[in-house]
């Protein structure tokens, strides 16, 4: 085996897959206020900055890397676009296939079982829109991942990148009083099922993106307030009030940098310059 091949497999062995916990994600993330806030924020950001999104233009070519159960991919397919959904978890892909079939959108989808690092070998070409949400924090080499993503955005394309913000993770644990955890550098001996292995430092992402040919369209905090609330009553009215405030403030500092996740929407400079 070549040195490069050995390094690639070693990285994958330290990255996380979700075959064993896909149902936990379905129950504890996607179907909760957390998931609803994430979806609403991303859709708002897309509609603000991507003019062709729902303007009945010719169908665009979109790839959703780490697309999980396919919620956003289905939303984009319903707007008329073609979707390639990639995930390293076969369990996640199966759930996505079921949701796509239920929505009657099979003809607009291609499913690929592969990790992000395999994309160069798949030779898929470039896309009008590349999505990569909540993936970086599970990877060992985050800079390499950003380089790979960048190479799949075409000259008139967009990149939507969302990652688990290490700064906000530290701040939240200070608010919760988890001082020992903070003093240990946010490391625990035993991995928690849904907790990311490698929370992302914003400066690492910014430095990596500065090496690529993008213009930043927006920076948005995802769950700037939700995760700091001690209790949230289960009434729809209170959630609606919270969501309205999230959407009002989450593109403003300091709140944007306090979101548990950070969403960056970028555009290839060749189009916008």
The answer to whether the bond into 254 is cis (omega within 30° of 0) is yes
Place of tokens 């996505």: 96
Instruction: Provide the β-strand partners of residue 118.
Output: none
Q: Is there a binding annotation on residue 87?
A: yes
> Which of these, 95, 76, 113, lies nearest to 25 by C-alpha position?
95
Q: Is 44 annotated as a binding residue?
A: no
∠ CA(91), CA(109), CA(152), 5° rounding?
A: 90
End-to-end CA distance of the chain: 44
Q: Which two tokens stand for residue 32?
A: 């909760």
Q: Is there a binding annotation on residue 263?
A: no
* DSSP letter string, 237-269: HHHHHHHHHHHHHTTSTTGGGGSSEEEEEEEEH
Q: Nearest-CA neighbor of 251 among 227, 217, 226?
A: 217
> Do the beta carbons of residue 30 and residue 39 sit within 8 Å?
no
**Closest-CA residue to 169 (of 152, 183, 186, 184):** 186
67 is annotated as contributing to ligand binding: yes
H or E segment and range at residue 85: strand 82-87
Residue 152 in marked binding region: no
- Which residues are documented as binding site for S-adenosyl-L-methionine? 38, 66-67, 87, 133
Q: Which residues are annotated as a binding site?
A: 38, 66-67, 87, 133
């Amino acid at each position: 085996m070549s040195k490069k091949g050995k390094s690639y497999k070693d990285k994958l062995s330290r990255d996380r897959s979700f075959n064993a916990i896909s149902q936990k994600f379905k129950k504890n993330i996607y179907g909760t206020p957390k998931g609803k806030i994430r979806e609403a924020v991303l859709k708002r950001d897309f509609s603000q900055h991507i003019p062709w999104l729902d303007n009945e233009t010719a169908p665009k070519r979109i790839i959703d890397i780490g697309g999980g159960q396919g919620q956003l991919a289905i939303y984009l397919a319903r707007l008329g676009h073609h979707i390639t959904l990639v995930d390293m978890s076969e369990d996640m892909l199966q759930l996505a296939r079921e949701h796509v079939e239920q929505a009657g959108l099979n003809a607009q989808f291609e499913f690929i079982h592969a990790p992000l690092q395999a994309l160069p070998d798949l030779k898929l070409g470039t896309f009008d829109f590349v999505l990569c949400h909540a993936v970086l924090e599970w990877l060992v080499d985050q800079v390499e991942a950003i380089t790979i993503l960048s190479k799949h955005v075409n000259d008139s394309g967009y990149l939507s990148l969302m990652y688990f913000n290490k700064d906000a993770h530290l701040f939240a644990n200070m608010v919760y009083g988890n001082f020992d955890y903070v003093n240990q550098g946010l490391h625990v001996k035993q991995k928690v099922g849904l907790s990311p292995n490698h929370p992302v430092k914003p400066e690492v992402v910014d430095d990596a993106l500065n090496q690529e040919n993008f213009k930043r369209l927006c920076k948005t905090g995802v769950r700037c307030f939700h995760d700091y609330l001690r209790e949230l009553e289960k009434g729809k009215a209170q959630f609606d009030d919270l969501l309205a405030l999230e959407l009002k403030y989450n593109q403003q500092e300091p709140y944007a940098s306090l979101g548990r996740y950070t969403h960056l929407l970028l555009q290839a400079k060749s189009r916008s310059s």
